[in-house]
Copies of this chain bind each other. A is one copy, B any other.
């Protein structure tokens, strides 16, 4: 039996947060339903950032009404702070991803808070478990800029591990290690991740790589060696920032599924269905940066789903 690897689709969140066009709520739902039909088991569906910061997520509450239709898939929402977490729980989400930046400079720029203040906010979010609304909360914590930062430069691994220890002790259910700006390399992955797997002590460790400098899939392969079995990815490699020339999105879901299956890991994903969905998402979103080798070159003649 092939070992399972989960691709957690973040296209409807990370993939479109900078998109030029607002995607209608029913399209977002169709996207999620078709991801589910294509075998994707986990989706980060939306974000509870204020609509004035990211207009794309103005419909987060509206979209949450569709959660009952997505019963076969684990659906999560990103939250930037306690207020976002309260909103997400009130809207019916149980899976919450709270992201804090290890880089002070990125944290201040992104949420106008120091990393320590962001950690204090995590403590407040974790405390929501004491409330009626938060009783069933599954709390993932993203450690952003864990591999380096475009503003600050180097990020100390010791600081990543320190924050990981704090949030693991403080009630995080999942640790999401994020290469927010695509600075990571396979040697760094194999150095940074094993201590986090150890700190996680059975909790899930998720890698969130960006393919900005072409090392996304090499980093996935390295993280597999380090024991990671869950990866964030985005259909068509969507993402990146229109204000940062050359910025690119998350690792590409179709390509990641191809690599994993060809390496003998089972993802449960129907790549052909993803390619079909991708074509429709492109037509909905229009002019964005779409990447992906399998969409261009096709699957090898020898390709077989891992069994």
A183 an interface residue at 8 Å Cβ cutoff?
yes
Closest 7 CB pairs of A and B: A214-B293, A246-B297, A185-B262, A218-B218, A187-B263, A246-B296, A186-B221
> Which residue of chain B is the closest to A292 with respect to CB atoms?
B214
Cβ A154 vs Cβ B217 within 8 A: no
Could you say which of B154, B248, B293, B302 contacts A302, with CB atoms under 8 Å apart? B154
Q: Within A265-307, which residues are at the interface with B (CB < 8 Å)?
A: 292-294, 296-302
Interface size class of A (residues with CB under 8 A): 35 or more
Chain B residues positioned under 8 Å from A299 (CB to CB): 213
Cβ B187 vs Cβ A264 within 8 A: yes
A185 to chain B, nearest CB (A): 4
Cβ B263 vs Cβ A186 within 8 A: yes
Residue from A211, A246, A247, A255 whose CB has the most chain B CB atoms within 10 Å: A246
With A213-B255, A218-B221 as known contacts, state yes or no: A248 contacts B183, CB within 8 Å.
no
**Considering the chains assembled together, what is the distance between the CA atoms of A79 and B148 in angstroms?**
45
Could you say which of B187, B218, B262, B300 contacts A220, with CB atoms under 8 Å apart? B218
